[in-house]
A = this chain, B = another copy of it.
Amino acid sequence: MKKRLSHYDSSGRVSMVNVSGKNVTERSAAARAFVRMSPHVLAALPSNPKGDPLEIARIAGIMAAKKTSDLIPLCHPLPLSHVSVECHLRPDGIEIVANASTAARTGVEMEALTAASIAALTIYDMTKALDKAIEIREIHLLRKSGGKSGDYKRKAQT
Main secondary structure of the interface of A (DSSP, over half): mixed
Interface centre among A53, A80, A81, A154 (most CB of B within 10 A): A81
Instruction: Give CA–CA (A46, B75) in the complex, Å.
Output: 20
Shortest CB-to-CB span from A29 to chain B, Å, is: 10
Residues of B with C-beta under 8 A to A85? 15
Cβ of B81 and Cβ of A122 under 8 Å apart?
no
Assess whether A30 is interfacial by the CB under 8 Å rule. Answer: no
Cβ of B56 and Cβ of A14 under 8 Å apart?
yes
| CB contact between A82 and one of B20, B62, B78, B130 (< 8 Å): that residue | B20
Interface size on A, residues (CB 8 A): 88
- From residue 110 to 138 of chain A, which have CB atoms closer than 8 A to chain B? 110, 113-114, 117-118, 120-122, 124-130, 132-138
Instruction: Give CA–CA (A74, B81) in the complex, Å.
Output: 11
Chain B residue with minimal CB distance to A65? B16
- From residue 28 to 49 of chain A, which have CB atoms closer than 8 A to chain B? 28, 44-46, 48
Chosen A-B contacts, 15 in total, with CB atoms closer than 8 Å, are: A5-B127, A6-B127, A7-B126, A16-B82, A19-B82, A50-B52, A64-B71, A67-B71, A71-B71, A74-B126, A77-B80, A117-B118, A132-B154, A135-B138, A137-B137
